Amino acid sequence: RSPHHTVSHVGLVGGGTNPRPGEISLAHNGILFLDELPEFSRMALEVLRQPLEDRKVTISRANGSYTFPTNIMCIAAMNPCPCGFLGHPHKGCTDSPLQINRYRSKISGPLWDRIDMHIDVPALRYSEMIETHNEESSHDVRLRVKEARAKQRQRLGPTKCNAMLSSREIKETAALDASCMEVLQQAMERMGLSARVCDRMRKVARTIADLDNAPAIETHHLLEAINFRSVQVQTPLEAMEMAIPY
């Protein structure tokens, strides 16, 4: 499902006088793609938080409560700034730091925490676009993913994957050795990460280990998971603050 950013919060999570499922439930067991994420209304984005966490949404009315499933993969895309050119190798950004901060602040910290991977996709140069690479085929990737899924089914059962691990299961399934714990501690302190983000990074690291056919999470798996929460392109104000010696 790929709703337009003008969708209401009721259209997104469901509701109405006679409650009906919203886009997040219509995408159950599939993908909900939110393009131009900051353009969605603040209320629509905020009501996504609990359904993403619980994988279900409950709507209460005078005549009863209705629960709809929301077991989805949520994928969102956004520009780094309103004009779209912040960090571009050739075009300069025309937005002020205040405009950029206002644009990004529409997405709250708790919602950011519920998105497992934050990946910066820089603009490609023409030479990079036409360059040919000997890349892994989609068929080969699919086989690796199927193998990793098979490991998860064997470990967790037929209806669960690493993304659904509870806090207790994370300690058992995504256990970390001393070196990994030290890396995680440094990442949390330097990046100011919450406990929720910490758990989600361990889930991602467990999946990376499964793809690597490794029985346990190793340091390079955890480092890759941390790298998948890459810092967004800095605003001019952020870059200036980082340059000031304290």
Pairwise CA distance, residues 205 & 199, whole Å:
10
> 135: buried, middle or exposed (CB in 10 Å: 19+, 13-18, 0-12)?
exposed
pLDDT confidence of residue 231: 56
Helices (H), the chain: 9-13, 23-26, 42-46, 49-54, 97-104, 109-113, 126-130, 138-156, 167-173, 178-191, 195-211, 219-227, 236-243
Taking Cα atoms as reference points, which of 226, 244, 107 lies closest to residue 176?
Answer: 226
Contact (CB, 8 A) for 70 and 55: yes
Kindly report the number of other CB atoms within 10 A of residue 173's CB atom.
17
Measured distance CA(95)–CA(83) in Å, rounded = 7
Report yes or no: 230 and 120 within 8 Å, Cβ to Cβ.
yes
DSSP-derived letter for residue 135 is P
pLDDT at 135: 84
Q: What is the Cα–Cα distance from 28 to 211, expressed in whole angstroms?
A: 25
For residue 77, give the DSSP letter: E
Residue 63 has a CB neighbour count (10 Å cut-off) of 9
Cα gap 225→201, rounded to integer Å: 6
**Rounded Cα gap, residues 236 and 9, in angstroms:** 33
How many CA atoms within 13 Å lie on the side-chain side of 47?
Answer: 19
Provide DSSP, 19-46.
TEE-HHHHTTTSEEEEESGGGS-HHHHH
Query: Tens-of-pLDDT digits for all 246 residues of the chain?
Result: 999 999 999 999 999 888 999 999 999 999 999 999 999 999 999 999 999 999 999 998 888 899 999 999 999 999 999 999 988 888 889 999 999 999 998 899 899 999 999 998 888 888 888 887 788 899 999 999 999 999 999 999 988 899 999 989 999 999 999 999 999 999 999 888 889 999 999 999 999 999 999 999 999 999 999 999 865 544 444 443 433 333
User: Which residues contact residue 241 at a Cβ distance below 8 angstroms, ignoring those fewer than 6 apart?
Assistant: none
Report pLDDT for 16.
Answer: 87
